[in-house]
Protein backbone atom coordinates (compact mmCIF):
# COMPACT_ATOMS: atom_id res chain seq x y z
CA UNK A 1 0.00 0.00 0.00
CA UNK A 2 1.37 3.36 -0.99
CA UNK A 3 2.12 5.78 1.82
CA UNK A 4 2.21 9.53 1.74
CA UNK A 5 5.66 10.97 1.45
CA UNK A 6 6.74 12.78 4.64
CA UNK A 7 8.50 16.14 4.35
CA UNK A 8 12.12 16.25 5.32
CA UNK A 9 12.72 16.76 9.03
CA UNK A 10 14.47 20.05 8.45
CA UNK A 11 11.85 21.44 6.06
CA UNK A 12 10.62 24.83 7.27
CA UNK A 13 7.10 24.88 8.65
CA UNK A 14 4.64 26.74 6.47
CA UNK A 15 2.45 29.35 8.17
CA UNK A 16 -1.13 28.26 8.60
CA UNK A 17 -3.75 29.91 6.45
CA UNK A 18 -5.49 32.75 8.27
CA UNK A 19 -8.78 31.71 9.84
CA UNK A 20 -11.85 33.32 8.31
CA UNK A 21 -12.67 36.45 10.31
CA UNK A 22 -9.94 35.92 12.93
CA UNK A 23 -9.31 39.13 14.85
CA UNK A 24 -6.24 39.82 16.96
CA UNK A 25 -5.94 43.18 18.69
CA UNK A 26 -2.84 44.40 20.51
CA UNK A 27 -3.96 46.91 23.14
CA UNK A 28 -1.30 49.33 24.37
CA UNK A 29 -1.06 52.82 25.80
CA UNK A 30 -0.33 54.89 28.86
CA UNK A 31 -0.99 53.67 32.38
CA UNK A 32 -4.30 55.19 33.40
CA UNK A 33 -5.25 55.66 29.75
CA UNK A 34 -8.15 53.22 29.86
CA UNK A 35 -6.63 49.85 28.93
CA UNK A 36 -8.40 48.04 31.79
CA UNK A 37 -11.79 49.42 30.74
CA UNK A 38 -11.06 48.61 27.10
CA UNK A 39 -10.00 45.05 27.99
CA UNK A 40 -13.34 44.55 29.75
CA UNK A 41 -15.17 45.84 26.69
CA UNK A 42 -13.33 43.30 24.55
CA UNK A 43 -14.22 40.54 27.02
CA UNK A 44 -17.90 41.54 26.79
CA UNK A 45 -17.67 41.05 23.02
CA UNK A 46 -16.32 37.54 23.38
CA UNK A 47 -12.62 38.25 22.96
CA UNK A 48 -10.04 36.19 24.83
CA UNK A 49 -8.05 38.85 26.70
CA UNK A 50 -4.43 38.27 27.75
CA UNK A 51 -2.98 40.88 30.11
CA UNK A 52 0.38 41.47 31.82
CA UNK A 53 2.25 38.68 30.06
CA UNK A 54 6.07 38.99 30.24
CA UNK A 55 7.53 40.13 26.94
CA UNK A 56 9.62 36.96 26.64
CA UNK A 57 6.42 34.86 26.42
CA UNK A 58 4.68 36.89 23.72
CA UNK A 59 6.12 34.89 20.77
CA UNK A 60 4.86 31.69 22.44
CA UNK A 61 1.43 33.28 22.76
CA UNK A 62 1.51 34.16 19.06
CA UNK A 63 2.20 30.52 18.24
CA UNK A 64 -0.71 29.41 20.44
CA UNK A 65 -3.09 31.91 18.82
CA UNK A 66 -2.01 30.71 15.39
CA UNK A 67 -2.23 27.00 16.24
CA UNK A 68 -5.75 27.07 17.74
CA UNK A 69 -7.56 29.55 15.56
CA UNK A 70 -11.03 28.46 16.57
CA UNK A 71 -10.40 28.99 20.26
CA UNK A 72 -8.54 32.27 19.63
CA UNK A 73 -10.73 33.55 16.81
CA UNK A 74 -11.06 36.86 18.70
CA UNK A 75 -8.09 37.77 20.88
CA UNK A 76 -6.98 40.98 22.59
CA UNK A 77 -3.44 41.19 23.99
CA UNK A 78 -2.58 43.98 26.43
CA UNK A 79 1.01 45.16 25.97
CA UNK A 80 2.44 48.01 28.05
CA UNK A 81 5.48 49.03 30.11
CA UNK A 82 4.99 46.07 32.46
CA UNK A 83 6.25 43.81 29.63
CA UNK A 84 9.76 45.31 29.83
CA UNK A 85 11.21 46.69 26.61
CA UNK A 86 7.90 47.45 24.94
CA UNK A 87 9.07 48.29 21.39
CA UNK A 88 11.12 45.08 21.30
CA UNK A 89 8.24 43.05 22.74
CA UNK A 90 5.84 44.55 20.20
CA UNK A 91 8.19 43.79 17.30
CA UNK A 92 8.55 40.18 18.48
CA UNK A 93 4.80 39.78 18.94
CA UNK A 94 3.87 41.35 15.64
CA UNK A 95 6.56 39.47 13.77
CA UNK A 96 5.44 36.16 15.24
CA UNK A 97 1.80 36.80 14.33
CA UNK A 98 2.46 38.12 10.83
CA UNK A 99 4.83 35.22 10.16
CA UNK A 100 1.85 32.94 10.78
CA UNK A 101 -0.48 34.84 8.47
CA UNK A 102 -2.21 36.94 11.15
CA UNK A 103 -2.40 40.73 10.79
CA UNK A 104 -3.00 42.23 14.26
CA UNK A 105 -4.50 45.66 14.84
CA UNK A 106 -2.59 47.87 17.28
CA UNK A 107 -4.74 50.15 19.46
CA UNK A 108 -3.07 52.84 21.59
CA UNK A 109 -4.92 54.62 24.42
CA UNK A 110 -3.72 57.85 25.99
CA UNK A 111 -4.96 60.86 27.95
CA UNK A 112 -3.81 64.32 28.98
CA UNK A 113 -1.31 64.49 31.84
CA UNK A 114 -3.70 66.21 34.25
CA UNK A 115 -6.32 63.54 33.58
CA UNK A 116 -3.85 60.71 34.19
CA UNK A 117 -2.69 62.32 37.44
CA UNK A 118 -6.29 62.71 38.60
CA UNK A 119 -7.11 59.08 37.76
CA UNK A 120 -4.13 57.80 39.74
CA UNK A 121 -5.09 60.04 42.64
CA UNK A 122 -8.70 58.83 42.62
CA UNK A 123 -7.88 55.13 42.35
CA UNK A 124 -4.73 55.29 44.51
CA UNK A 125 -3.06 52.88 42.11
CA UNK A 126 0.71 52.90 41.81
CA UNK A 127 2.18 53.91 38.49
CA UNK A 128 4.34 51.03 37.12
CA UNK A 129 7.28 53.42 36.71
CA UNK A 130 6.74 55.20 40.02
CA UNK A 131 9.80 56.13 42.03
CA UNK A 132 10.94 59.11 44.05
CA UNK A 133 10.55 61.44 41.04
CA UNK A 134 6.76 61.50 41.39
CA UNK A 135 3.76 60.66 39.23
CA UNK A 136 4.16 63.52 36.70
CA UNK A 137 7.75 62.53 35.90
CA UNK A 138 6.70 58.88 35.63
CA UNK A 139 4.07 59.81 33.05
CA UNK A 140 6.62 61.81 31.07
CA UNK A 141 9.03 58.87 31.06
CA UNK A 142 6.28 56.45 30.01
CA UNK A 143 5.33 58.69 27.10
CA UNK A 144 8.95 58.66 25.96
CA UNK A 145 9.20 54.87 26.22
CA UNK A 146 5.93 54.25 24.38
CA UNK A 147 6.32 56.84 21.61
CA UNK A 148 7.70 54.23 19.12
CA UNK A 149 4.67 52.05 19.88
CA UNK A 150 2.26 54.97 19.41
CA UNK A 151 3.82 55.74 16.03
CA UNK A 152 3.00 52.23 14.81
CA UNK A 153 -0.57 52.19 16.10
CA UNK A 154 -3.48 51.59 13.72
CA UNK A 155 -5.85 53.36 16.13
CA UNK A 156 -4.98 56.09 18.66
CA UNK A 157 -7.68 57.20 21.10
CA UNK A 158 -7.52 60.07 23.58
CA UNK A 159 -9.72 58.91 26.47
CA UNK A 160 -9.45 62.14 28.49
CA UNK A 161 -13.09 63.16 28.01
CA UNK A 162 -14.70 59.86 26.99
CA UNK A 163 -17.40 58.00 28.87
CA UNK A 164 -17.31 54.21 28.82
CA UNK A 165 -20.00 54.19 26.13
CA UNK A 166 -18.05 56.64 23.99
CA UNK A 167 -14.87 54.61 24.41
CA UNK A 168 -16.73 51.52 23.26
CA UNK A 169 -18.07 53.34 20.19
CA UNK A 170 -14.67 54.78 19.27
CA UNK A 171 -12.90 51.45 19.56
CA UNK A 172 -15.31 49.31 17.64
CA UNK A 173 -16.14 51.79 14.89
CA UNK A 174 -12.41 51.97 14.25
CA UNK A 175 -11.93 48.20 14.30
CA UNK A 176 -14.98 47.58 12.14
CA UNK A 177 -13.68 50.06 9.58
CA UNK A 178 -10.28 48.41 9.29
CA UNK A 179 -9.24 48.43 5.66
CA UNK A 180 -6.69 46.58 3.59
CA UNK A 181 -3.01 47.08 4.49
CA UNK A 182 -2.51 49.51 1.60
CA UNK A 183 -5.47 51.75 2.51
CA UNK A 184 -5.58 54.72 4.85
CA UNK A 185 -8.15 54.59 7.64
CA UNK A 186 -9.32 58.16 8.25
CA UNK A 187 -10.84 59.36 11.50
CA UNK A 188 -12.55 62.76 11.66
CA UNK A 189 -13.10 64.46 15.03
CA UNK A 190 -15.06 67.62 15.70
CA UNK A 191 -14.11 69.34 18.95
CA UNK A 192 -14.26 72.57 20.94
CA UNK A 193 -11.01 74.43 21.57
CA UNK A 194 -12.34 75.44 24.99
CA UNK A 195 -12.13 71.74 25.95
CA UNK A 196 -8.68 71.09 24.50
CA UNK A 197 -7.26 69.75 21.23
CA UNK A 198 -7.57 65.94 20.76
CA UNK A 199 -4.23 64.31 21.51
CA UNK A 200 -4.55 61.76 18.72
CA UNK A 201 -4.96 64.35 15.94
CA UNK A 202 -2.45 64.26 13.07
CA UNK A 203 -3.94 67.35 11.42
CA UNK A 204 -5.86 70.13 13.21
CA UNK A 205 -8.00 72.74 11.45
CA UNK A 206 -9.53 75.77 13.14
CA UNK A 207 -12.90 76.97 11.78
CA UNK A 208 -13.50 79.72 14.33
CA UNK A 209 -13.15 82.28 11.50
CA UNK A 210 -16.68 81.29 10.36
CA UNK A 211 -19.72 83.10 11.78
CA UNK A 212 -20.95 81.30 14.88
CA UNK A 213 -24.55 79.96 14.96
CA UNK A 214 -24.35 80.19 18.75
CA UNK A 215 -25.17 83.90 18.47
CA UNK A 216 -28.37 83.23 16.51
CA UNK A 217 -31.13 82.62 19.05
CA UNK A 218 -33.04 80.03 17.02
CA UNK A 219 -29.86 78.08 16.26
CA UNK A 220 -28.07 78.16 19.62
CA UNK A 221 -29.55 74.92 20.96
CA UNK A 222 -29.33 73.08 17.64
CA UNK A 223 -26.26 71.03 16.74
CA UNK A 224 -24.31 71.00 13.52
CA UNK A 225 -26.19 67.84 12.56
CA UNK A 226 -29.39 69.81 11.92
CA UNK A 227 -30.31 71.22 8.51
CA UNK A 228 -30.77 74.74 9.89
CA UNK A 229 -27.24 74.97 11.32
CA UNK A 230 -25.73 73.23 8.30
CA UNK A 231 -27.34 75.74 5.95
CA UNK A 232 -26.26 78.70 8.10
CA UNK A 233 -22.62 77.56 8.12
CA UNK A 234 -22.31 76.40 4.51
CA UNK A 235 -24.00 79.51 3.10
CA UNK A 236 -21.04 81.55 4.30
CA UNK A 237 -18.60 82.37 1.51
CA UNK A 238 -15.58 81.63 3.73
CA UNK A 239 -16.95 78.14 4.46
CA UNK A 240 -17.09 77.25 0.79
CA UNK A 241 -13.57 78.57 0.14
CA UNK A 242 -12.19 76.74 3.17
CA UNK A 243 -13.72 73.41 2.10
CA UNK A 244 -12.29 73.88 -1.39
CA UNK A 245 -8.81 74.49 0.04
CA UNK A 246 -9.14 71.51 2.39
CA UNK A 247 -10.29 69.14 -0.35
CA UNK A 248 -7.41 70.23 -2.60
CA UNK A 249 -4.96 69.64 0.24
CA UNK A 250 -6.32 66.17 1.05
CA UNK A 251 -6.39 65.23 -2.64
CA UNK A 252 -2.65 65.82 -2.53
CA UNK A 253 -1.86 64.57 0.99
CA UNK A 254 -3.88 61.33 1.30
CA UNK A 255 -2.19 59.52 -1.64
CA UNK A 256 1.17 60.74 -0.32
CA UNK A 257 0.41 59.32 3.14
CA UNK A 258 -0.57 55.98 1.57
CA UNK A 259 2.60 55.89 -0.52
CA UNK A 260 4.64 56.59 2.61
CA UNK A 261 3.01 53.54 4.28
CA UNK A 262 0.83 55.38 6.79
CA UNK A 263 -2.24 53.32 7.74
CA UNK A 264 -4.25 55.84 9.77
CA UNK A 265 -4.92 59.57 9.65
CA UNK A 266 -6.80 61.51 12.31
CA UNK A 267 -8.12 64.91 11.26
CA UNK A 268 -9.53 67.18 13.96
CA UNK A 269 -11.70 70.20 13.15
CA UNK A 270 -12.33 72.64 15.98
CA UNK A 271 -14.53 75.60 16.74
CA UNK A 272 -15.17 77.31 20.08
CA UNK A 273 -17.56 74.82 21.67
CA UNK A 274 -17.44 71.95 19.18
CA UNK A 275 -21.22 71.97 18.73
CA UNK A 276 -21.97 73.87 15.53
CA UNK A 277 -19.36 74.84 12.91
CA UNK A 278 -16.88 71.99 13.47
CA UNK A 279 -19.62 69.37 13.25
CA UNK A 280 -20.91 70.78 9.96
CA UNK A 281 -17.44 70.85 8.42
CA UNK A 282 -16.60 67.31 9.61
CA UNK A 283 -19.84 65.92 8.17
CA UNK A 284 -19.19 67.64 4.82
CA UNK A 285 -15.61 66.42 4.76
CA UNK A 286 -16.62 62.84 5.66
CA UNK A 287 -19.15 62.72 2.82
CA UNK A 288 -16.57 63.98 0.34
CA UNK A 289 -13.86 61.55 1.52
CA UNK A 290 -16.26 58.62 1.14
CA UNK A 291 -17.23 59.77 -2.36
CA UNK A 292 -13.54 59.94 -3.27
CA UNK A 293 -13.03 56.37 -2.05
CA UNK A 294 -10.18 57.28 0.29
CA UNK A 295 -10.63 54.17 2.44
CA UNK A 296 -12.74 53.73 5.59
CA UNK A 297 -13.87 56.98 7.23
CA UNK A 298 -15.01 57.19 10.88
CA UNK A 299 -16.60 60.26 12.46
CA UNK A 300 -16.66 61.26 16.12
CA UNK A 301 -18.27 64.46 17.46
CA UNK A 302 -16.50 64.78 20.79
CA UNK A 303 -18.59 67.51 22.37
CA UNK A 304 -22.01 66.47 21.10
CA UNK A 305 -23.10 64.89 24.39
CA UNK A 306 -22.00 67.85 26.49
CA UNK A 307 -25.38 69.48 25.73
Domain of residue 140 covers 23-176
Residue 201 and residue 169 in one domain: no
Domain CATH number, residue 65: 3.40.50.300
- As for how many domains the chain has, the answer is 2
Asked whether the whole model's pTM tops 0.75, one would answer no
- Which is it for strands 105-110 and 185-192: parallel, antiparallel or unpaired? unpaired
pLDDT of residue 3: 38
Q: Are residues 158 and 211 in the same domain?
A: no
Q: Render 69-89 in DSSP notation, one character per residue.
A: TTTTSEEEEE-SGGGSSHHHH
> Is residue 106 domain-shared with residue 41, that is, in the same domain?
yes
Domain boundary among 121, 150, 176: 176
> pLDDT tens-digit profile of 12-21?
333 334 445 6
- State whether 172 and 193 are in the same domain: no
pLDDT of residue 59: 82
Cβ 157 vs Cβ 109: under 8 Å: yes
Buried b (16+ CB within 10 A) or exposed e, 240-272: eebbeebeeebeeebeebbeeeebbbbbbbbbb
Q: Are 63 and 167 in the same domain?
A: yes
Q: Which portions of the chain are predicted below pLDDT 70?
A: 1-21, 132-133, 176-182
Whether 94 is in a domain gets the answer: yes
pLDDT of residue 216: 96
The answer as to whether 210 is a domain residue is yes
Q: What is the pLDDT of residue 269?
A: 98
Among candidate residues 143, 176, 209, the one where a domain is terminated: 176
**Shared-domain flag, residues 33 and 104:** yes
Q: Are residues 94 and 163 in the same domain?
A: yes
Q: 124 and 98: one domain?
A: yes
Residue 289 located in a structural domain: yes
Amino acid sequence: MATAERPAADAPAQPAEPAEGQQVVILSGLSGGGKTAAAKLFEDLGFTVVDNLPGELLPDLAELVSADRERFARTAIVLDVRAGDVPVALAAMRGALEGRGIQPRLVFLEARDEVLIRRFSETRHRHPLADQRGIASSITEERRILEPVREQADVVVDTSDLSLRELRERLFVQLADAGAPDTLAIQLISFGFKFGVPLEADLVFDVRFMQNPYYVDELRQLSGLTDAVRTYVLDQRVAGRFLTFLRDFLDFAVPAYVEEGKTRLTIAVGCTGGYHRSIVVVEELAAWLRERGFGPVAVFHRELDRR
